[in-house]
Structure 1
Amino acid sequence: MLAAAATSPSTTATHCPYCALQCGMNLRPAQDPQGGVEVVERTDFPVNRGALCGKGRTAPAVLSSHVRLTGPLIRNHATGALEPAGWEEALRAVADGLRRTRETYGPDGVGVFGGGGLTNEKAYSLGKFARLVLGTSQIDYNGRFCMSSAAAAHTRAFGVDRGMPFPLEDVPRSGCVILVGSNIAETMPPALRYLTELKENGGRLVVIDPRRTRTAEQADLHLAPRPGTDLALALGLLHLVVAEGRVDEDYVRERTTGWEEARAAAMSHWPAMVERLTGVPVPQLRETVRMFCDADSAMVLTARGPEQQAKGTDTVGAWINLCLATGRPGRPHSGYGCLTGQGNGQGGREHGQKADQLPGYRKLDDPAARAHVAAVWGVDPDVLPGPGRSAYELLDALGRDVKALLVMGSNPVVSAPRAGHVEDRLRSLDFLAVADVVLSETAALADVVLPVTQWAEETGTMTNLEGRVLLRRRALTPPEGVRSDLEVMHALAGRLGWEKGFPTDPEEVFDELRRASAGGLADYSGISYRRIAEEDGVFWPCPGPDHPGTPRLFLDRFATPDGRARFVPVTHRPAGEEPDDAYPVILTTGRVVSHYQSGAQTRRVAELNAAAPEPFVELHPRLAERVGVADGEPVAVVSRRGRAVAPARLTTAIRPDTVFMPFHWYGEGRANTLTNPALDPTSKMPEFKVCAVRLEPVTPNDPAPSDG
């Protein structure tokens, strides 16, 4: 249970280290001889109002020296083991490895891979470090796997990407919410209350998911489409909106462009055809349109389901088109929003970790953007490299074009698609350095491992899924053998010839970030640490100290040159890999409530690990009968990329043509051994949610699973 609210001056107000809700919590010294901190309820923060999931409640467990790194490690290449080392030796080894690679292969021989959990200050500094100190274009981050398709669709339609253009408090005030591909009851449980309040207020909830999840059980209507057909489903709904005369013609005429082309594309997706493609009956399509259009206000919220596809940008675009045609965006308690997953997935891509972006959500190939940021950094714009490879493309190039890699806050050995191949690529590097809080599966492959501070041991800002910039405060002194990522970058920059420009004080870094973002789409220039603390966070854009921030975008105009939203015509197309005789079943992946992302931290928390100790394969009893596997028995899932084995979990809550695996584990049950790295052409998002597999019963004499 949470401790009671505290009044002691030693209590520190801060935020959970996990998902993009960034729930408010208080920390106070633990009533324990071993010290540390305990979580205390913080009811005054508006996002979660005191509620926390099990991950947030147990977050201090990862601070323990029993589970985290407390000193640098260097690989002894004679024995192959990682051995303790001093900081000077470790930093010298990293600097030498990066310098040697640059001198041999050029700047783009070195890559940088960041994380969506890094604070804004660390994300900003990492982008600057890559482009100035290393001179490389080869930088991206695991947030590319989170909501890059929604980001691309947002920008295409609205001119700006902010996951939710309105605060969560608007959700219960809406008349109808369509939730697409999100199981928030397990991925961000404190947010479930918004859907509960929606229904208590008389609003309707439609959940679209191939599984009847805990979230779908709350719905007035649950649609269970075949994975990979969300685009056809959205187009079928828009077809019905047009056919039934429910288009908001005044809104379309006054606030949008491109309607006729988008309308024509939707009209080729007639209801019977959509039923054949998706498996969703036409009466359910009509009922969804009735609920959505009869409500005075309505919104669509999407998550990884429609995004993590090789057509994710167009899929999200189709849902945006549905919202625009019915006059929802920019109106009270209405519109389109994306539920960002990672803790700082929003801020992480706004300030330079992404391969094609500079701080303030500026484009790296824009001469004006380059000139502005270069002036803040005190360099000539010509020294800035151009756009580099996206996340999977960068990982795929390791050992070939990219010979050395610096990883900060990511575990691609578990989280990347075609993970066996990615692991092979990491092993082929000339040099790998990893900065992390635990010895993740990726860190275990490194030549040098640098132990860095965690959320409760450092101050920094995060930007939650609403676009609310928050302050996480330091509550603990880190162990003696641990340094912050900012200190690591400062030390490496100095050893590589940059004595200035990489401060270790996070507030100093944030003040520079404010200047670099000024005038950009994600303008933080009016936000300060003091203001965040006084206002429970500030919504960007906030272009000046007297600006109130922007909780709700698009009330007057969209962020396009003419102020109008853009319809984009899209049409359904098959997934990158469709089932066939050899691989007749669809695999989709996701999360469980007790674990987070690659599980590198949550698998080290005893309470969470006890609740979900191992991977599993969820499948329908009819499919299990055909395969010849019983509940609890091991079953092999085989794709064109490899083979994974985990216990079968039988349930009627999933489609008979689909299996589900959570992706939090390494080893023989690693779900991402199987997933398809087919990329969306616009966002470069891999197709995690759809791939063709076959199932095989497992006997004691079967060979161990392997990666193809």
Structure 2
Amino acid sequence: MTATQTHCPYCALQCGMTLTPRIPGVRLEPAEFPTNRGGLCAKGFTAADLLDHADRLLTPLVRKEPGNRDSPLREASWEEAYGLIAAKIRESQDRFGRDSVGAFGGGGLTNEKAYALGKFVRVALRSSAIDYNGRFCMSSAATAANRSLGIDRGLPFPLADVAEARTVLLVGANPADAMPPSMQYLDAGRAAGAKHIVVDPRRTNTANGAHLHLQPLPGTDLALANGMLHIAIREGWIDEDFVKDRTEGFAAVKAATNAYWPERVERMTGVPERRLRETVRLLATEQPSMILTARGAEQHSNGTDTAQAWLNLALALGLVGKPYSGYGTITGQGNGQGGREHGQKADQLPGYRRLDDPAAREHIARVWGIDPDELPQPGVSAYEMIDRLGTDGGVRVLWVLASNIAVSAPHSTHVIDRLKSLDLLVVSDIFLSETAELADVVLPTAQWAEEEGTMTNLEGRVIRRRMALPPPPLVRTDLRVIADLAEILGRGEHFSADPRTVFDELRRASRGGIADYHGITWERIDDEQGVFWPCPSEDHPGTPRLFAESFPRPDGRARFIRVEHRDAAELPDGTFPYVLTTGRNMQQYQSGNQTRRVKALTVALPEPRAEIHPDLARRHGIADGDLVELRSRRGVATLRARLSDGIRPDTVFAPFHWPGANALTNPALDPHSKMPAFKVCAVTIALADTPEGTTTR
């Protein structure tokens, strides 16, 4: 049987693998690819287990009693499902306007599907109501990079460059658990004498191997970065030539750091002054150096400013644009990079163009064959859209693709209430997720190994996902469903279900944009093991490394932006005295809709555990393995305790892969990126008196 070279369905490494159909099932083997070099994590090794899983959705489902969500779901034909959807779309838009119908996408959609979904909402629905779960992931770092560097590409250099850096500062990142194959580059750097510093309130597996581990109070990373910049200025470690020749705005940032003297920053963050000084010394004198941020630094109500503070430090030290050096942010979702470039965001058109830019509207309308005036203006961000579901002026008919917002969105009990208030909820998925369980119509979709398409990994490398086997007989690809519904709504001439046709249109649409794919073809991807964007023409080599000569801003200079620490949106008090922060476990991925169904992964980690310091546990009479009740101002979650002296005594950690953690989290939004404050909320902790198992309410 024929072996197919493709890529893992999980994180943004997009590790290479080989699939060979057999009877029964599929044989999966790791393959040589620049990001994984023949390695896979436990999730990747078990990815094929999902292809023939007993829980697989194999036919459309609709409610036995339409309009009654208490009635059971039953099997239906595609024609019946489409008929219900189209009728509700027309009814809602006739009564409440075009923006009463919308879509919520995902960072796991291929570039083609993300592109087609954004086009479907704007062309077939003529609606502004679209956003996606990447708003909960990369939006703060993306906003900071765009306004400072002129471009948002998570890593502006290949991942392999990390092995060549002499100093690496990882802020809010735990790649040892989140993307284990990437650790080979960090390991290689350390073996060659590199020094790594990890900023995290927990002693993670990544921190265990670091030269220094800084444990700030969650929500104080911005103060930490400003304090390090203060030290760099005082010690004369600023790269004056780089700042003068290649940046603007440093004077205002320099003035702001006067207030962040080391003793004050130690009081604010809990990080000892000596460790601040040692970190800055290493970054400035043991170069090449990198500063890499991830969600721990960014998922805050001031996440954009926090990412900006670390960017300011990297620019001041002259790290950006030099070999094996610079600033980057570690993209998490499988297509977290490409998914945010081609129109899923409420304010965006393909190629990372702005929806409110007349020239961008003109260009995209020409590619799409419509009048620019047909395009809606920007809509609202993900949580803002969710918060208004079912209300006057809000979305009343929602289509959710590749996202499980009942688990992954903040203040999830409220989110579930809003989903239940919809006139129609449609969910496309491979399994009956917690969100799909609430739906009026569920559409089965093809899995990663059953479709063709492209993805863009954390390096900005565009790769090709290849079909290894056909989907089950009654399962359709998302591209086909988008094209089918567009046809039913009278706009079918603008859509195709063929992924190569869609990609070629995406290339034309992205031409001249920030994320320019015009020169990338499937043949080049195959021949070159992926192509780095921007790639404006077929004879262009692609751009593995950005910023060597200039920044894509009008004056070619990077921009310093003054940012100030402000307290988290919710602080501990006498009623809720501890800080909850959330994150990933090695065995699970995102909302767990896929990985919680894999036996090998659930045996290794069968349930979520709240990580608690022994001193905190002792005060509340909690022993390792006890069920504990975490309570915030929004909800309650019951999890099993895991005692660890590697976490701060004032902080509790909970993984977000199960229902529970996000019943507690705060939906306060960053004013720039609209990122919710996932990483900080105030909680109480107590021994639980509930039956065995995890609960939320």
Per-residue deviation, residues 346-402 of structure 1 (Å, max 9, x unmatched): 101100000100000000000000000000000110110011111111110111121
**Residue in 1 aligned with 2:505?**
512
Aligned equivalent of 2:315: 324
User: Following TM superposition, by how much is the alpha carbon of 1:499 offset from its aligned partner in structure 2, in angstroms?
Assistant: 2.4
Number of equivalences: 692
Q: In the alignment, is residue 129 of structure 1 matched against residue 120 of structure 2?
A: yes
Relative to structure 1, the CA distance from residue 701 to residue 66 in structure 2 (aligned partners, 3 Å threshold; closer, same or farther) is closer
Q: CA deviation at 1:91?
A: 1.3
**Structure-to-structure mapping, 1:178-189, within 5 angstroms:** 178-189=169-180
Q: Does 1:674 align with 2:664?
A: yes
8 Å contact kept, 2:486–2:492 = yes
**Secondary structure of residue in 2 paired with 1:425:** helix
Contact kept, 8 Å, 2:627 with 2:692, in 1: the verdict is no
Which residue does 1:431 correspond to in 2?
424
More displaced, 254-263 or 624-633?
624-633
Q: Which residue in the other structure is 1:74 paired with?
A: 62
In the alignment, the residues of structure 1 paired with residue 330 and residue 267 of structure 2 have an alpha-carbon distance, to the nearest angstrom, of 29
Compute the displacement of 1:247 (Å). Answer: 0.6
1:51 to 33, 39, 46: 39
Asked if the contact 1:642/1:705 (under 8 Å) is kept, the reply is: no
Residue 423 of structure 1: CA displacement?
0.5
AA at the equivalent of 2:270 = G
Residues in 1 aligned to 2:439 and 2:695: alpha-carbon distance in whole angstroms: 24
The aligned counterpart of 1:274 is 265
Letter in 2 for 1:38: R
Secondary structure in 2 matching 1:25: strand
Please list the CA deviations of residues 35-72 of structure 1 after superposition, one character each: whole Å capped at 9, or x if unmatched: x21211212x1110010001111001111141211110
Note the 1:305-454 alignment, pairs <5 A: 305-400=296-391, 401-454=394-447
Match of 2:143 in 1: 152
SS at match of 1:66: coil
CA contact (8 A) 1:137 1:355 kept: yes
Change (3 A) 1:84 1:238: same
Return closer, same or farther for 1:703/1:15 CA change in 2, 3 Å cut-off. Answer: closer
User: Does the residue aligned with 1:112 lie in a helix, a strand or coil?
Assistant: strand
Residue 85 (structure 1) aligned to one of 57, 76, 85: 76
Q: SS where residue 654 of structure 2 aligns?
A: strand
**Paired letter, 2:678:** F
Q: How does 1:567-582 map to 2 (within 5 A)?
A: 567-582=560-575
Answering whether residue 106 of structure 2 is matched by residue 115 of structure 1, we say: yes
In 2: Cα distance, 1:610 partner to 1:704 partner: 16
Instruction: Give yes or no for contact 2:638–2:696 (8 Å, CA) kept in 1.
Output: no
Structure 2 match to 1:3: none
1:698 corresponding residue in structure 2: 688
**CA shift in 2, pair 1:62/1:701, >3 Å:** closer
**1:119-176 superposed Cα distances (whole Å, 9 cap, x missing partner):** 0000000000000111111100000111100000000110111101111111111110
| CA drift at 1:501 | 1.5
- Partner-residue secondary structure (3-state), 2:493: coil
Secondary structure of 1:330's match? coil
Name the CA distance, whole Å, in 2 between partners of 1:703 and 1:641.
Answer: 20
- Among candidates 229, 232, 235, match of residue 226 of structure 2: 235
Q: Percent identity?
A: 59
Structure 1 position 37 matched with structure 2 position 37: no
1:463 matched to 2:456? The reply is yes
C-alpha separation in 1, matches of 2:96 and 2:498: 33
Of 663, 677, 684 in structure 2, the residue corresponding to residue 687 of structure 1 is: 677
Match of 1:13 in 2: 5
Runs of 4+ in structure 1 deviating by more than 4 angstroms, as ranges, are 700-706
Question: Does 2:275 align with 1:287?
Answer: no
User: What's 1:482 paired with?
Assistant: 475
Residues in 2 aligned to 1:443 and 1:389: alpha-carbon distance in whole angstroms = 23
Secondary structure of 1:392's counterpart equals helix
Residue 27 of structure 1 corresponds to which residue in structure 2?
Answer: 19
Distance 1:527 1:641 in 2: 47
Shifted more, 287-296 versus 324-333: the winner is: 287-296
Letter in 1 for 2:21: P
Gaps of 5+ in 1: 1-7
Separation of aligned partners in 1, 2:240 and 2:524: 42
Does 2:640 correspond to 1:647?
Answer: yes
* Aligned-partner SS, 2:683: strand
Alignment check: 8 A CA contact 2:639 2:693 kept: no
Question: Aligned to 1:215, what secondary structure does the other structure show?
Answer: helix
Distance 2:694 2:519 in 1: 57
Please give the alpha-carbon distance, in whole angstroms, between the structure 1 residues aligned to 2:475 and 2:508.
30
Aligned-residue offset at 1:703: 13
- CA distance in structure 2 between the aligned counterparts of 1:463 and 1:98, rounded to whole angstroms: 32
In structure 2, C-alpha distance between the alignment counterparts of 1:518 and 1:86, rounded to whole Å: 40
- Do 2:105 and 2:400's aligned partners in 1 also have CA atoms closer than 8 Å? yes
The answer to whether the Cα contact below 8 Å between 2:99 and 2:128 also exists between their aligned partners in 1 is yes
Alignment of 1:182-197 (within 5 A): 182-197=173-188
Q: Is the 8 A contact 2:446 2:475 kept in 1?
A: yes
Q: SS at the partner of 2:184?
A: helix
Deviation at 1:700, TM superposition (A): 4.9
Matched, 1:501 2:489: no
Q: CA deviation at 1:699?
A: 2.1
Is residue 170 of structure 1 aligned with residue 161 of structure 2? yes
Give 1:702 shift.
Answer: 12
Question: Residue 505 of structure 1 aligns to which amino acid in structure 2?
Answer: D
1:485 partner letter: D
CA drift of 1:202 comes to 1.5
Q: Is the 8 A contact 2:130 2:346 kept in 1?
A: yes
Three-state SS of the structure 2 residue aligned to 1:500 is helix
| Structure 1 equivalent of residue 530 of structure 2 | 537
Q: Which amino acid aligns with 1:312?
A: G
1:253–1:437 Cα change, 3 Å? same
Q: Which AA in structure 1 matches 2:64? A: N
Closer, same or farther: CA 14–320 of 1 in aligned 2, 3 Å: same
Task: Tell me the C-alpha RMSD between the 2 structures.
Answer: 1.2
In structure 1, the residue matched to 2:592 is 599
* In structure 2, C-alpha distance between the alignment counterparts of 1:201 and 1:629, rounded to whole Å: 43
Deviations 1:569-628 (A, max 9, x none): 011110000100000000000010110000000011111111111111110010001112
Q: Which residue of 2 aligns with 1:4?
A: none
**Superimposed CA distance per residue, residues 216-271 of structure 1 (whole angstroms, 9 cap, x where no aligned partner):** 00100000101000000000000000010111111100000000001111121110
| Secondary structure of 1:323 counterpart | helix
What is the deviation of 1:296? 2.6
| 209, 221, 226: which one aligns with 2:217 | 226
1:532-578 superposed Cα distances (whole Å, 9 cap, x missing partner): 01100000000000000000000000011000000000111100001
Question: SS of the counterpart of 2:337?
Answer: helix
Q: Distance in 2 between matches of 1:237 and 1:66?
A: 53
CA contact (8 A) 2:35 2:159 kept: yes
* Cα 1:95/1:232, change in 2 over 3 Å: same
The corresponding residue for 1:5 is none
Q: Which amino acid is the alignment partner of residue 46 of structure 1?
A: P
Distance 1:699 1:533 in 2: 57
1:164 aligned partner, one-letter code:
L
Q: After the TM superposition, which residues 241-280 of structure 1 pair with which residues of structure 2 at under 5 Å, given as runs?
A: 241-280=232-271
In the aligned structure 2, how far is the partner of 1:280 from the partner of 1:138? 43
SS of structure 1 residue aligned to 2:492: coil
CA distance in 1, matches of 2:273, 2:613: 24
Counterpart of 2:12, as a letter, is A
